[in-house]
């Protein structure tokens, strides 16, 4: 049975949800599932904006068959050529033989590269700011390269003032009936997954997101329609503000996130002592994560949220504890910048973890490593307490300065 929702006059949401997929991109846990959004415009011409993942193709075709009410599909707009959005292009070409595929040159190259289909006479190639009239509605194309992939573009519908924004402004999480931001509790139920999605999927491309935000600022936008997660039709400045911070690598919160690896509980003990002393000193937003049991996407997400990060890890193979190395290298790969960082290392005979952590951090932009590092030899003793308290004091002082 079809399951669609009207988002504006003659514009329908025709996407769907996958609540069975465990790992998005076979990497990221999505216990709340994921939505693949697609949109259908019915005018003198009909246009479909993107398709969906192959896992929900059946639902998708029921939706568009219902939405079209027997009419042919004139245009498929391909804003993003990643398979979670374009898995159904070939089937659409077969079902709608007069349908034109609308994309930029890179889009068309990628369609051929992925699917090897004969596109002769089936494409309409567009450039920045080109327009496609559908009747009462007009689409304007806004290129947004590397707001995930190089071919990405956004489509602005001028009559209803809707920006179809591709991966930008998306989130992990299935849409549970409610598809608009004002129908759900975003801050409570979605913000963490929205941040985890942004930081891990698009986080590396902050400058390109900034460029897209600048283009978006020139448009009068009433509604943001991403390819994943809720549609935004109120309070757009809230989400735009988050994207501005995230893409400039500025923290959202003056907060401490402590990431630790611990083989037998001793490095964890040092972290507990530090966290308790921070709370005693009046710091209220403290998070503690075991890097061995917390998915790295969550660690990355928290590193994008918090102003102060503490990394605490044992020495391992004369280097760094592997789970911590993975976390730090992922943060580096995603271009994390502008954080204040504390270091705690443990090493029973030749501590090296601190050196490796400092080396990785030195290759990241504007990471201020606090002077008061802590070295634990096997387990915390009285002699480490002054160093832990000095680290606490430096964290408190730099938070107050901020």
Residue numbers of the site for ligand FEO (CB under 6 A)?
80, 82, 84-85, 148-149, 167, 227-228
- CB atoms inside a 10 Å sphere around CB 46: 23
Based on CB atoms, which residue is closest to ligand FEO, 115 or 149? Answer: 149
Based on CB atoms, which residue is closest to ligand FEO, 18 or 74? Answer: 18
Residue 126's SS3 state is coil
In angstroms, the CA 320 to CA 302 distance is 21
Distance of CA 343 to the CA centre of its chain: 27
In angstroms, the CA 43 to CA 66 distance is 15
In angstroms, the CA 230 to CA 227 distance is 9
Based on CB atoms, which residue is closest to ligand FEO, 168 or 380? Answer: 168
Based on CB atoms, which residue is closest to ligand FEO, 301 or 307? Answer: 301
**Strands 374-376, 340-346: parallel, antiparallel or unpaired by DSSP?**
parallel
In angstroms, the CA 125 to CA 376 distance is 61
**Residue number of the CB atom closest to ligand FEO:** 82
Smallest distance from the beta carbon of 364 to ligand FEO, in angstroms? 24
Based on CB atoms, which residue is closest to ligand FEO, 57 or 387? Answer: 57
Smallest distance from the beta carbon of 20 to ligand FEO, in angstroms? 17
Nearest to 231 by CA among 47, 67, 8, 61: 8
Distances (CA, A) of 126 to 13, 192, 214: 24, 36, 21
Smallest distance from the beta carbon of 131 to ligand FEO, in angstroms? 25
Smallest distance from the beta carbon of 230 to ligand FEO, in angstroms? 15
Smallest distance from the beta carbon of 147 to ligand FEO, in angstroms? 9
Based on CB atoms, which residue is closest to ligand FEO, 67 or 226? Answer: 226
Distances (CA, A) of 195 to 99, 127, 189, 298: 36, 31, 12, 9
Smallest distance from the beta carbon of 308 to ligand FEO, in angstroms? 31
């Amino acid at each position: 049975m079809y399951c669609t929702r009207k988002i504006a006059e003659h514009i329908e949401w025709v996407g769907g949800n996958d609540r069975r997929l465990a790992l998005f991109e076979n990497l990221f846990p999505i216990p709340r599932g994921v939505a693949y959004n697609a949109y259908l415009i019915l005018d003198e011409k009909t246009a479909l904006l993107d398709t969906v993942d192959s896992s929900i193709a059946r639902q998708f075709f029921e939706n568009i068959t219902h939405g079209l009410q027997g009419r042919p599909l004139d245009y498929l707009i391909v804003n993003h050529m990643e398979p979670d959005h374009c898995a159904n292009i070939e089937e659409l070409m077969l079902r709608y033989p007069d349908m034109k595929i609308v994309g930029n040159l890179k889009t068309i190259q990628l369609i051929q590269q992925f699917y090897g289909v004969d596109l002769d006479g089936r494409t309409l190639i567009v450039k920045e700011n080109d327009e496609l009239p559908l009747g009462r509605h007009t689409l304007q194309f806004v290129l947004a390269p590397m707001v995930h992939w190089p071919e990405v573009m956004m489509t602005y519908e001028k009559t209803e003032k809707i920006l179809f924004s591709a991966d930008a402004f998306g989130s992990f999480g299935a849409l549970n009936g409610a598809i608009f931001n004002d129908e759900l509790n975003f801050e409570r139920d979605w913000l963490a997954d929205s941040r985890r999605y942004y930081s891990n999927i698009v986080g590396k491309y902050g400058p390109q997101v900034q460029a897209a935000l600048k283009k978006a600022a020139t448009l009068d936008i009433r509604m943001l329609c991403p390819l994943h997660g809720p549609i935004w039709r109120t309070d757009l400045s809230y989400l735009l503000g988050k994207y501005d911070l995230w893409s400039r690598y500025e923290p959202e919160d003056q907060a401490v996130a402590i990431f630790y690896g611990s083989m037998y509980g001793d490095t964890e003990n040092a972290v507990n002592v530090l966290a308790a002393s921070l709370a005693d000193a009046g710091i209220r937003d403290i998070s503690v994560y075991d890097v061995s049991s917390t998915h790295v996407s969550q660690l990355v997400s928290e590193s994008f949220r918090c102003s102060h990060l503490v990394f605490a890890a044992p020495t391992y193979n004369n280097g760094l504890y592997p789970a911590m190395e993975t976390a730090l290298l992922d943060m580096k790969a995603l271009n994390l910048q502008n954080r204040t960082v504390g270091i705690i290392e443990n090493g029973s005979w030749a501590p090296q973890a601190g050196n490796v952590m400092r080396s990785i951090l030195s290759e990241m932009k504007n990471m201020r490593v606090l002077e008061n590092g802590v070295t634990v030899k096997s387990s915390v003793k009285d002699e480490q307490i002054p160093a832990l308290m000095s680290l606490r004091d430096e964290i408190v002082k730099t938070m107050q300065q901020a």
